[in-house]
Amino acid sequence: MTETKHCAYDFTVGWAGDMNPSSRTDFVSLTLTGQGSGIYNNSKQWTRQSCWRKWKLLSRLQRNLILFTVALMLVCGIATNPSVTEHFRGLAVVAKEEGDHALKPVIHEVQPELDKLNRPLVPESPSEKQKRAAHKRGPPGLQNRLQKKGNVSDTQVEKEEGEKPLVNWRVAMIDQATERRTAKEAANKVDVPEVEQEGHSHKEPEVDRLEAVRDAFRHAWKGYKEFAWGKDELRPMSKSYGEWFGLGLTLIDALDTMWILNLKKEFEEAKTWVSTELSFDKDVDVNLFESTIRILGGLLSTYHLTGDTLFLDKAKDIGTRLMPAFNTPSKIPYSDVNIGKGTAHPPRWTSDSTVAEVTSIQLEFRELSRLTQDTRYQAAVDEVMQKVHKLEGKQDGLVPMFINTNSGQFTHLGMFTLGARADSYYEYLLKQWIQGGKKETALLEDYLQALEGVKKNLLKKSSPNRLTFVGELSHGRFSPKMDHLVCFLPGTLALGAHHGLPAEHMELAKQLMETCYQMYAQMETGLSPEIVHFNMHEGSIGDVDVKLADRHNLLRPETVESLFYLYRFTKDRKYRDWGWEILQNFNKYTKVSTGGYTSINNVRDPEYPSPRDKMESFFLGETLKYFYLLFSDDPELLSLDKYVFNTEAHPLPIWPTAQ
């Protein structure tokens, strides 16, 4: 086939004035010259025609490859855009955690109620607003952060006063009325000075903050009672429940909290359920550690506070049913027990137990022996501690995370942490020593040696603000990773110092307490993630980095627990202020309007923290209890010279015969 190189057209227009041809013809001749003439006129038409002709000359395979490459470049460009990436990551987290339980707020049903809740309970005058803004407290870094957040909230408040608020996910989820009320309580409470009256000073008691904790408990209990009564855990977003052991974990975990908070009505409701509904005669596997600290510990504590033998009888029942776990070749207990069949076994995937699990059940079983005069409970757990005391594989008093139930030896050697799987081993060394009257020197020796190991191997400073933190060690390699669980340590150190251990323990406790607080303060929601990584390189912009998978908050108690100990021993008001701020942020970002609180996926996104639809039993058993004790002015309310708390915040008495 040949291509025409040149073409020309003559267009002639002629006309005559009459019937006869004119002696002269008028015409216009137009000649169109084709592109093949070799003359280039730089026109767009020339370019389009040329490119199209070249495109048509390509084979189908070549054209497909070019189109694929362009499409791939476009997709990569979109994927690397920061805002788009963050959006899809957030969606991925929600999809992973929520599964089929997608959150579907019904806007039409919620809107009228929200309109009511968003109205201020009492209108504030401009002078009152200015006075409240002028009295923000806390360290300078915290003030700056709160002022920045305040700019946003102030704008939102002004908008809400002028127009009907828009409904978004967080508004549909969070009880805004309580958020405003607790914020007002903070302003009114924190700013009250000492007033001179007739020659003596009078200081306003912490009534408002204590009542705020009671309100938080009532709200959580409301959701549990309505949607999960007698079940293990509340799922507040879906208004349903989750089962783990099928033993009413949340209810039992919260018994002593209700007694301490003087919530008599709620306590009587729970007691009736324990009396009439709670049965351990079930064909169900339970975790030895979790059942001991939550159920056995909760029942023993409630018995001591109330004197009601109902709870002691139930404690003896569950304690006896857990004993088959110790029937192993090494006497290191299995992790799981079938409390109906009386059998025990390790997890399906391993014959190991975690060190924390087998060494953090001693307070409870020892106390059960003391109350029942049955020595087999204490004998079983004491033997575990004696074996661990003699084991090889430690490094400067630090223990590995796993121990084999067959051989009785440590496994996964060379890995050391004060976080998950090892944390409460160190806590119970000190607390058993205190519980038994400070007579068991081997426990104290192990505790002191472990602290030296922490200082030598795990204690570091961050950059740029030189926060003291506890990292991890893996085969000689240090990692600046710190679990929120490690925030039990400031309180434990302070407790030891109170009971006569070196004063430097208290100084270290204060440094670590500041670090744990900053894990909250440096997050956009003011709530700590589950895990942080500290920067150690000079020139770092911030002290804390948080990986996407570690941004969740489970309503954990460890930081509030340590704040309680530090305030009880130092009377430094900043610890109360820090705790008050944390409680307000729990109310702001985790409170569900229909009842309950939910753990969240993303503490770095205040607009949509992504609820996980789960309220852990320890939120009622530990977190709110420690808030209440932190704000209480009564040093005899669970005196730390008379009680020792188990790792689930259940107070057990220091043995009278040992004092």
- Give the Cα separation of 434 and 428 in Å (integer): 9
Active-site entry in 175, 253, 446, 530: 530
SS3 139: coil
- Give the Cα separation of 620 and 48 in Å (integer): 72
Give residue 5's region: left, alpha or beta (phi > 0; psi -120 to 50).
alpha
Active site residue 530: yes
| Cα 319–Cα 322–Cα 328 angle in degrees, nearest 5 | 135
Look-up of token digits 């495109």:
55
- Give the Cα separation of 386 and 330 in Å (integer): 12
- The first and second tokens of residue 526, run together, are 């003011």
Query: Would you call 79 exposed, middle or buried from its count of C-beta atoms within 10 A (0-12, 13-18, 19+)?
Result: exposed
SS3 352: strand
Question: Are 438 and 499 spatial neighbours (Cβ–Cβ below 8 Å)?
Answer: yes
- Give the Cα separation of 613 and 236 in Å (integer): 6
Which amino acid belongs to residue 16? A
Going by C-alpha positions, the residue among 591, 472, 467, 589 that lies closest to residue 529 is 589
- Give the Cα separation of 225 and 223 in Å (integer): 6
- The first and second tokens of residue 184, run together, are 């007002």
- The first and second tokens of residue 151, run together, are 């700019």
Residues 6+ apart with CB under 8 A from 79: 85
- The first and second tokens of residue 449, run together, are 């040696």
- Give the Cα separation of 162 and 615 in Å (integer): 35
Give residue 373's region: left, alpha or beta (phi > 0; psi -120 to 50).
left
Number of CB atoms found within 10 A of residue 659's CB: 10
- Number of continuous H segments (helices) and E segments (strands) in the chain: 26, 20
Question: Are 616 and 608 spatial neighbours (Cβ–Cβ below 8 Å)?
Answer: no
Q: What is the dihedral of CA 173, 177, 182, 185, to 10 degrees?
A: 170
Active site residue 290: yes
Active-site entry in 97, 215, 290, 317: 290
DSSP one-letter code for 324:
G
DSSP one-letter code for 335:
S
- Give the Cα separation of 541 and 465 in Å (integer): 10
Active-site entry in 208, 558, 581, 648: 558
Active-site entry in 423, 427, 472, 581: 423
Active site residue 423: yes
Active site residue 633: no
HSE toward the beta carbon, residue 220, CA cutoff 13 A = 32
Going by C-alpha positions, the residue among 596, 593, 619 that lies closest to residue 250 is 619
SS3 257: helix
Q: Which residues belong to the active site?
A: 290, 423, 530, 558
